[in-house]
Amino acid sequence: MSYILETRGLTQVYGAGTPFERTALDHVDIQVEKGEILGVIGHTGSGKSTLIQHFNGLLKPTEGEVLLNGRSIWDEKGKCSRKTRFEVGLVFQYPEYQLFEETIAKDIAFGPTNMGLSESEIKTRVAEAMDFVGLDPSMAGQSPFALSGGQKRRVAIAGVIAMRPAVLILDEPTAGLDPAGRDEILAQIRDYHARTGATVLIVSHSMEDIARMADRLLVMNQAHVMLCGTPREVFAHAEEIVAAGLDIPEITKVIRELNRRGIPLDPSIYTVEDAVRAIRAYKEGR
């Protein structure tokens, strides 16, 4: 099996040799499958942001390797290939603070321009990216600074999508949004994935959000990978997850409470639809 992204023994120590030394990643081995949506979860400080910054070479491993399509992203001279920066698109947490151009279109065009694409190709990509994030074409010439927070975030996400990265990584893309804004952004990410077949990594601290859309979940805890697998495989370890201070989906809690009351339902259920099905089957089977 070949993976689009892989880490081997990836270790990141911040402030090595100072009183502030902190191991943010400790010999982490991860495999990301081409075309999957991988949800990355873990409490604050567990190493999620550090991990994803390694995937496009923003950080250099203290130890270990990062492989893109089976090859190290760092060459012998200690440089990260430009290709990596274009193939792995990273949307930072609160990316709206990094907008700087005078129009929305120019801001979105920044990445494609750096890639050295032609004017017409850049135009195509800007229009396409605006469409993906639900920004009306008539807005292209407007200033991004007059937009609402949620709209600014769309512009920032469009700027990364416009590079057509094979891997799109988003760090807490719904942080600070209201429930409607959150659902919209998540639906757009799902749609982007369905339409392009890109590999998507999405960092979140909300199990609820991520479990529904991810093919697999990676649970980080204190610089280590605690669990990795399909949502079902992961939620089968609900006790460990709760013990590590993380939440499980509300419906999984309900099922577990029913288990405690003697009703034998699959404890790894994490969607309301599956729960309804299981409860119905149980009632009919009695």
Ligand X SMILES: Nc1ncnc2c1ncn2[C@@H]1O[C@H](COP(=O)(O)OP(=O)(O)O)[C@@H](O)[C@H]1O
3-state SS, 119-174, equals: HHHHHHHHHHHHHHCCCCHHHCCCCHHHCCHHHHHHHHHHHHHCCCCCEEEEECCC
How many C-beta atoms lie closer than 10 Å to residue 284's C-beta?
A: 7
d(CA 96, CA 173): 11
d(CA 26, CA 47): 9
- Please select the residue that binds ligand X; options are 45, 70, 116, 176, rule is CB under 6 A: 45
- Please select the residue that binds ligand X; options are 38, 41, 47, 132, rule is CB under 6 A: 47
Q: What is the DSSP letter of 96?
A: G
Q: Is 262 in the site for ligand X (CB under 6 A)?
A: no
Q: Is 50 in the site for ligand X (CB under 6 A)?
A: yes
Strands 88-91 and 71-72: unpaired
The three-point CA angle 199-226-166 to 5° equals 10
Q: Which stretch binds ligand X (CB under 6 A): 40-48, 78-86, 119-127, 182-190?
A: 40-48
- Please select the residue that binds ligand X; options are 4, 5, 24, 186, rule is CB under 6 A: 24
Q: Is 22 in the site for ligand X (CB under 6 A)?
A: yes
Pick the closer one to ligand X by CB: 48 or 237: 48
- Please select the residue that binds Mg ion; options are 7, 12, 46, 49, rule is CB under 5 A: 49
| Distance from the Cα of residue 243 to its chain's centroid | 24
- Please select the residue that binds ligand X; options are 39, 42, 231, 249, rule is CB under 6 A: 42
Pick the closer one to Mg ion by CB: 49 or 252: 49
Q: Which does 151 bind (CB under 5 to 8 A by kind): Mg ion, ligand X, none?
A: none
Q: Is 15 in the site for ligand X (CB under 6 A)?
A: yes
How many C-beta atoms lie closer than 10 Å to residue 57's C-beta?
A: 20
Pick the closer one to ligand X by CB: 155 or 219: 219
Q: Is 46 in the site for Mg ion (CB under 5 A)?
A: no
Binding site for ligand X (CB under 6 A): 14-15, 22, 24, 42, 44-50
Binding site for Mg ion (CB under 5 A): 48-49
